Amino acid sequence: MAEYHLTSPLSEEDVRKLKIGDTVYLSGNAFTCRSRLQRYIFDEGNTLPFDTSDRNILIHNGPIVIKENGSWRLVSFMPTSSIRFEKWGEKSVKEWGLRMIVGKTTMGEQTAQAMKEMGCVHVSPRSVSPNLWIDSITVEDVYLFDELGSIEAAWFFKINELGPFIVDIDSEGNNYFDRLDESIAESKKNALEQLGIGEEFKFTKLY
Amino acid sequence: MIRTEIYENALFETIKRGATVISPDVRDAFVRAIEKESNEAAKRGLEATLRSMDMSRERENPLCVDTGWPIFYFKVGNRCELEGGFVELENAARRAVAKATKLGYLRATMKHPLTGYDPGNNIGMNIPDFTYKFVDGDSIEMSYAAKGGGSECFGGTRHRIVAFADGIKGIEKFVIDSFVASARAGAVCPPSVLGIGIGGTANVAANLAKEAACLRTVGSRHPDPMFAKIEEDLYRALNSLGIGILGAGGNTSVLAVNVEYAYTHIAGIACATSTNCMVARRASTKIDANEKVTEMQSPMWFGDR
């Protein structure tokens, strides 16, 4: 499992070489979004008011940003769960030309398929360490602040060696967590056996 | 009589501490998890999390960007007298939440469930949530817990009525099935503090599970050996699964398993789980009748645990 230090905008070549389990650190331009922004664009028919071609890393996140002496200060940041945006995953990858999505909880089959087609990956954090991350992020700008509010707005970040993140969906459609599920299922069987709960155990059906 | 300004200020300080300072027992559990972690990436993840948590205390910023549902637990002396009474206590708690949000200790996270309207201060219908327990005495113990969206929304909170025919095996199977499903890909932000409620109606079991997850001291044991054994057996079993920090593999999947129980109906055993995320945020403060304010290390919601 390799380690990569990548700078956005990412090229197709940058992400096609990444395999599940690899570690990445990210620099360059990125933007944030949550449900409200995706609903606003994809379900309510609005147009994204900025260009994503030089900013093709999307971070699923609702940061805490406060205004101090006329400029933005990032108080806290932690990638949020991506799976809840699965409904818009394919569209965001294809229509926004994304090369990477940063978030927790991985994403589903449909997004993985779009990633395979377009050349895009999903990466996950391995810690809850907002204080280490905010030192790698400068808030540059914000879009749709008035329409969507601070947490759901699209924040423009300049990032510097932000990471480490683990590649959990690669551009061949492999999922790191699907692989891990297999070994967890095996250990679960052993754990249940140790508790005296054999494979033959069935819940008495009450409803 | 405890004056409003005393308890309102104590409430604000409790919220701020809960949001920004890791509880000593949770920190100790992290140190132990780092010592025994054999997966290098997981070890680095635990270390980075601990470093960030320690920095939050110095920087006075939130331990996690998701500052969660604001939840209050009041353990009230039977003869405790508050200026303005308990209605004013709740008003003061709402004002303190709004102030903590304005100052960036809390993120404006609470929204209208249908319209998505964001009041910007975490105050709305039935939020914050208040729970009371009455005890002897004239003091009040105020606990604040921040229940994160990850730990609450992705399957960490469940219930099932287990038949008496299935007994402890049924309870333990339910807990393990639930936890494995909810911790997949780090959904509930493991290593979790797992609370389990056994017995009562479904809502009683769910409340006990939440209180066991959010208020029990990590490392404490249920005094009844039958329940202590369930805690120990499940702690060992869940930590043998290899789920690890944020579900990406590792030796520690739960920091604690805490069980609380109530008597139940002859027809069945309500069982509920509630996972708390790895930062397990809470803080508690005691105010005596003479207005002496003391920071508590742990809520001591269930007697000495």
**Cβ-based neighbours of B11, under 8 Å, separated by 6 or more:** B72, B92, B93, B96, B142, B144, B285
Kindly report, residue by residue over A74-88, the tens digit of the pLDDT: 999 999 999 999 999
Q: Compute the mean pLDDT over every residue in chain B, rounded to the nearest whole number.
A: 97
Task: Give the residue-averaged pLDDT of B24-53.
Answer: 97
Residues in chain A predicted with pLDDT less than 70, given as ranges, are none
Q: In sequence order, what are the beta bridge partners of A27?
A: A7
Is residue B93 within a helix (H) or strand (E), and if so which, with residue range?
helix B85-102
Q: In sequence order, what are the beta bridge partners of A4?
A: A24
From A77, A149, A201, residue closest to B118, measured CB to CB: A149
Query: Cα-flanking dihedrals φ and ψ of residue B71, to 5°?
Result: -130, 130
Percent of chain B with pLDDT over 90: 98
Q: Residue B89: name the closest of B101, B99, B80 by CA.
A: B80
Percent of chain B with pLDDT over 70: 100
- Residue listed under structure tokens 């990210």: A26
Chain-chain contact of B55 with A127 (C-beta, under 8 angstroms)? no
Task: Give the residue-averaged pLDDT of B67-75.
Answer: 97
DSSP state of B305: -
Kindly report, residue by residue over B101-154, the tens digit of the pLDDT: 999 999 999 999 999 889 999 999 999 999 999 999 999 999 999 999 999 999
Chain-chain contact of A192 with B176 (C-beta, under 8 angstroms)? yes
From A149, A187, A194, residue closest to B242, measured CB to CB: A187
As a whole number of angstroms, the distance between CA B245 and CA B191 comes to: 5
Task: Give the residue-averaged pLDDT of B70-94.
Answer: 98
From A77, A184, A195, residue closest to B172, measured CB to CB: A195
Sign of the torsion formed by the C-alpha atoms of B236, A80, B195 and A196: negative
Please tell me the predicted confidence (pLDDT) of residue A31.
98
Distance in Å, alpha carbon of A184 to nearest chain B alpha carbon: 6
Chain-chain contact of A76 with B107 (C-beta, under 8 angstroms)? yes
Which residues of A fall within a CB distance of 8 Å from B241? 184, 187-188, 191
Distance in Å, alpha carbon of A57 to nearest chain B alpha carbon: 20
Q: Residue B148: name the closest of A12, A16, A76, A195 by CA.
A: A76
Chain-chain contact of B172 with A127 (C-beta, under 8 angstroms)? no
DSSP state of A143: E
Q: Residue A124: name the closest of A24, A202, A53 by CA.
A: A24
Burial of B87 (0-12, 13-18, 19+ CB in 10 A): exposed
Task: Give the residue-averaged pLDDT of B49-78.
Answer: 97
Chain-chain contact of B248 with A126 (C-beta, under 8 angstroms)? yes
- Cβ B62 vs Cβ A75: under 8 Å: yes
Burial of A97 (0-12, 13-18, 19+ CB in 10 A): middle
Please tell me the predicted confidence (pLDDT) of residue B116.
87
Distance in Å, alpha carbon of A84 to nearest chain B alpha carbon: 9
Q: In sequence order, what are the beta bridge partners of B276?
A: B193
Test mutation, A22, A75, A76, chain B, max B CBs within 10 A:
A76
Distance in Å, alpha carbon of B302 to nearest chain A alpha carbon: 27
In chain A, the domains with their CATH numbers are 3-175 (3.20.130.10)
DSSP state of A41: I
Please tell me the predicted confidence (pLDDT) of residue B155.
86
Which residues of A fall within a CB distance of 8 Å from B254? none
Q: In sequence order, what are the beta bridge partners of B135?
A: B77
Q: How many CA atoms lie within 13 Å of B267's alpha carbon, on the beta-carbon side?
A: 7
Chain-chain contact of A124 with B248 (C-beta, under 8 angstroms)? yes
A52 touches chain B (CB under 8 A): no
**Cβ-based neighbours of A125, under 8 Å, separated by 6 or more:** A78, A79, A102, A104, A165, B45, B246
Query: How distant is the alpha carbon of residue A157 from its chain centre?
Result: 15
Please tell me the predicted confidence (pLDDT) of residue A1.
87
